Amino acid sequence: MTHNNKAHRHSDRRQFFRTLSGRPAVRRPPWTAADLTQRCTGCDACIDACLEGVLVRGGGGFPEIRFDDDGCSLCGDCAAVCEADVFDTQRQAFPWHAQLEANCLALAQIHCQACQDACEWRAIRFPPALGRPPQPHIDSEACRGCGACLAVCPNDAITLADNGPVQPGARR
């Protein structure tokens, strides 16, 4: 068994146990596919090139993306330095979009628009409302899944939801 096949098997097992424990799925860098653990050499070039610092070395030595402190600007620096050809900037950057949870401060009538302020893609909006704070609306078609809103939400009320299967010929 080659090193990459063994690493892929361990990665799949690790993902299975993460799911059982209730922890979120491992999120991979933009423009990568499910075969990242088979193709990535673990050189860290993409991690070193990430100006936002959202790419980190994860389990098995493979890059993961974490939105703890910042979002991904989709600058493409990670893809530009990858010699293993793991990135394909012609595909959708991420297979997820932002989704509001019930503990959103704005939904509780508390004025907060931190997510809208952080959203470069203008996917999160707060249409004006009479007599109450504006309520958030996320346009899942405009959302790029960059995670900027997750990093700034004071109540951790935004999660990333899978976009589901893409229909042939469909654009997101």
Binding residues for [4Fe-4S] cluster: 40, 43, 46, 50, 72, 75, 78, 82, 143, 146, 149, 153
Length of the chain: 172
The two structure tokens encoding residue 76? 């493409």
The two structure tokens encoding residue 69? 């402190």
User: Residues 56, 63: contact at Cβ < 8 Å?
Assistant: yes
Is residue 65 exposed (0-12), middle (13-18) or buried (19+ Cβ within 10 Å)?
buried
Give the residue ranges of the annotated binding site: 40, 43, 46, 50, 72, 75, 78, 82, 143, 146, 149, 153
